[in-house]
Amino acid sequence: MNTGFSYRERNAGTGRRRLLLVTIFVIVLFLVDMVTGGSIRAIVRDANARISLAARAIGMTIASNGYFTSHAALASQNVALQARVATLEEQIVLSASLQQQVTTLSEMAHLATTEQGITVPVASSFIASPYGTFLVGAGIDEGVSLDSLVLSGNGTAIGTISYVSAHTATVTEVFAPGVVINALLDGAPVSVHGAGGGNATTQVPHGVSIAPGDVVTAPSLGGHTIGIVGHVDTDPSSAAMQVYIGSPVNSASLQYVFVVSPRT
């Protein structure tokens, strides 16, 4: 027969003893406080007052330093600075765009001293059409004629007017897909085949001195430059050298072009 106490019973006994000891301690403190005329309560009140004063002093110090106010002010300033930076970046982009327009129009003005024609705005992106065409914002009423030559500001031949209405015209690029143009490459006559995207190809016999950077011109387009040699494939197993040509004009960035008026 098991006569020992269970675990629960031992814990209950321990708890009762602790409660009894705490009660006795409180009673002793109460009696001491009464005998000493409230000295215990005075000590407790003094300690509590000291803690309260210390807490208040810490709070006043934080407030006087303005930590929370400064933190909020800095956050507000940060937001304002970010907005200012965004505004300045937008102004820089706008300024660069305006500078580019000024440069282009200056080139057009210089071109007008050697060519008779008008400066017109590009009304649609070069890369918007898969057929190597784009739209300009001038037409018959502004003096634009069918088959007129279209130049960039530096005098590079870009294309010709293939359709014209009252106030708009369509330009077919020199290197539009399917377009073949007779040209001169280092003095040698070649047929340049447009590939679109400002690119073209031609073939020349082996032995002809051709190198990247050579200029390609078109007598039928007033002798203007139409492209620059980018690469020459000199594979000896081929019947001729394959020459890859690119337009020197970044057509995607053009905002204005010069339309040459027909000579009378």
Write out pLDDT tens, residues 37-68: 556 566 666 666 666 666 666 666 655 565 55
Q: Looking at the predicted structure, is the pLDDT value of residue 20 above 60?
A: yes
Residues contacting residue 64 through CB under 8 Å, at least 6 positions apart: none
Residues contacting residue 219 through CB under 8 Å, at least 6 positions apart: 182, 183, 184
- Residue pLDDT, tens place only, 119-155: 899 988 655 566 788 999 999 999 899 999 999 888 8
Rounded-to-integer distance, Cα 70 and Cα 83, Å: 20
Residues contacting residue 254 through CB under 8 Å, at least 6 positions apart: 104, 122, 126, 152, 158
- Residue pLDDT, tens place only, 234-253: 888 888 899 999 999 887 77
Domains and CATH numbers, the chain: 7-65 (no CATH), 117-260 (2.40.10.340)
Give the number of C-alpha atoms closer than 13 A to the C-alpha of residue 3, restricted to the C-beta side: 0
